[in-house]
């Protein structure tokens, strides 16, 4: 793989995340940035703002673009990522490094099968950052600062290419990079991301008073910000990872039911003990994360 300053980098999908990644990568001085998005207006805006040097919104332009790219970021939904990889596999440049940002991994790897060419290096990734806002117009690379980035390398990946991706995302602002398997990624993400979105959505869904925020002091807003959800995208993520997500929903229901029982039966001492344990666990989680961050500095 070439150095980033000598490389042509392609972005497939210039929505909120693709746009933010391209903005951040621009600061690293690549040779050229090219983009593809189905919306011509997005390509026009990204070019005018100098986020990309050129791009296309049709398949013919895409097939001209891909053979030029040394590094490609696929910023699409899981199903669209799989469809893109299978449809355009023969158009990638020999030796190209390909990565993605999808929120589930096993569904892609299991279905990609023998479509993956041996002369390219596909390194699955997942930036743990985002916003309740959508689209290129809301893209901002500051969302990456001090966030996690997960890589699920394949056995065929070249170590130098994994290090390249790590170097790029570190410069983007991510301060903790995790390498794991696709299976473990999907298991953990079902809890830390997908379950949280389900809970936030359910919390808003169960209240009909649209003026309820007159009575909140911050907790409701903190808990429900992510309920302003991209319905089609998150439904796809939930369905692609439904086995892991359902297991975590059941774990949450069990904990909630136990606290409900304590309140109903007025078991104040038991509830104090439970909530104290929860507090201590959450503090420990924060301390572990802090120690990992300090170790890297």
The DSSP-derived string for 158-221 is -HHHHHHHHHHHHHHT--EEEE--HHHHHHHHIIIIIHHHHHHHHHHHT---TTGGGG-SSHHH
- Percent of all residues in the chain with a pLDDT value above 70, rounded to a whole number: 99
Q: What is the pLDDT of residue 56?
A: 94
What's the burial of 178, exposed, middle or buried (CB within 10 Å: 0-12/13-18/19+)?
middle
Please state the rounded mean pLDDT for residues 255-284.
Answer: 97
CB atoms within 10 A of CB 129: 22
Q: What is the pLDDT of residue 296?
A: 67
- Structural domains in the chain? 4-180 (3.40.50.720), 185-265 (1.10.3660.10)
Q: What is the pLDDT of residue 294?
A: 72
Name the average pLDDT for the chain.
94
Q: What is the pLDDT of residue 241?
A: 97
Q: What is the pLDDT of residue 190?
A: 98
- For the chain, how far is it from start to end, CA to CA, in angstroms? 27
Q: Is the pLDDT of residue 10 over 80?
A: yes
The pLDDT tens digits for 49-72 are 999 999 999 999 999 999 999 999
The pLDDT tens digits for 76-102 are 999 999 999 999 999 999 999 999 999
Q: Is the pLDDT of residue 293 over 80?
A: no
Model pTM above 0.85: yes
């Amino acid at each position: 793989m070439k150095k980033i300053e000598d490389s042509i980098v392609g972005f497939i999908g210039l929505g909120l995340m693709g746009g933010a990644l391209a903005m951040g990568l621009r600061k690293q001085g690549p040779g050229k940035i090219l983009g593809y998005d189905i919306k011509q207006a997005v390509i026009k805006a990204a070019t005018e703002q100098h986020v990309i040097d050129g791009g296309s919104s049709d398949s013919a332009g895409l097939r001209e673009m891909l053979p030029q790219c040394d590094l490609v970021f696929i910023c699409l939904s899981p199903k669209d990522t799989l469809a893109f990889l299978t449809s355009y596999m023969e158009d990638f440049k020999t030796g190209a490094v390909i990565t993605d940002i999808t929120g589930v991994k096993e569904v892609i790897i299991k279905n990609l099968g023998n479509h993956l060419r041996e002369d390219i290096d596909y390194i699955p990734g997942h930036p743990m950052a985002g916003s309740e806002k959508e689209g290129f117009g809301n893209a901002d690379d500051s969302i990456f600062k001090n966030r996690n980035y997960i890589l699920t390398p394949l056995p065929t990946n070249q170590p130098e290419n994994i290090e390249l991706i790590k170097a790029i995302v570190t410069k983007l602002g991510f301060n903790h990079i995790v390498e794991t398997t696709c299976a473990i990624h999907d298991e953990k993400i079902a809890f830390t991301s997908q379950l949280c979105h389900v809970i936030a959505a359910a919390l808003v869904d169960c209240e009909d008073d649209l003026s309820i925020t007159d009575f909140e002091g911050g907790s409701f807003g903190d808990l429900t910000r992510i309920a302003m959800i991209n319905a089609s995208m998150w439904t796809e993520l939930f369905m692609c990872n439904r086995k892991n997500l359902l297991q975590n929903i059941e774990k949450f229901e069990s904990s909630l039911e136990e606290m409900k029982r304590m309140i109903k039966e007025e078991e104040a001492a038991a509830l104090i003990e439970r909530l104290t344990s929860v507090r201590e666990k959450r503090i420990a989680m924060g301390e572990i994360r802090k120690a990992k961050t300090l170790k890297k500095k």
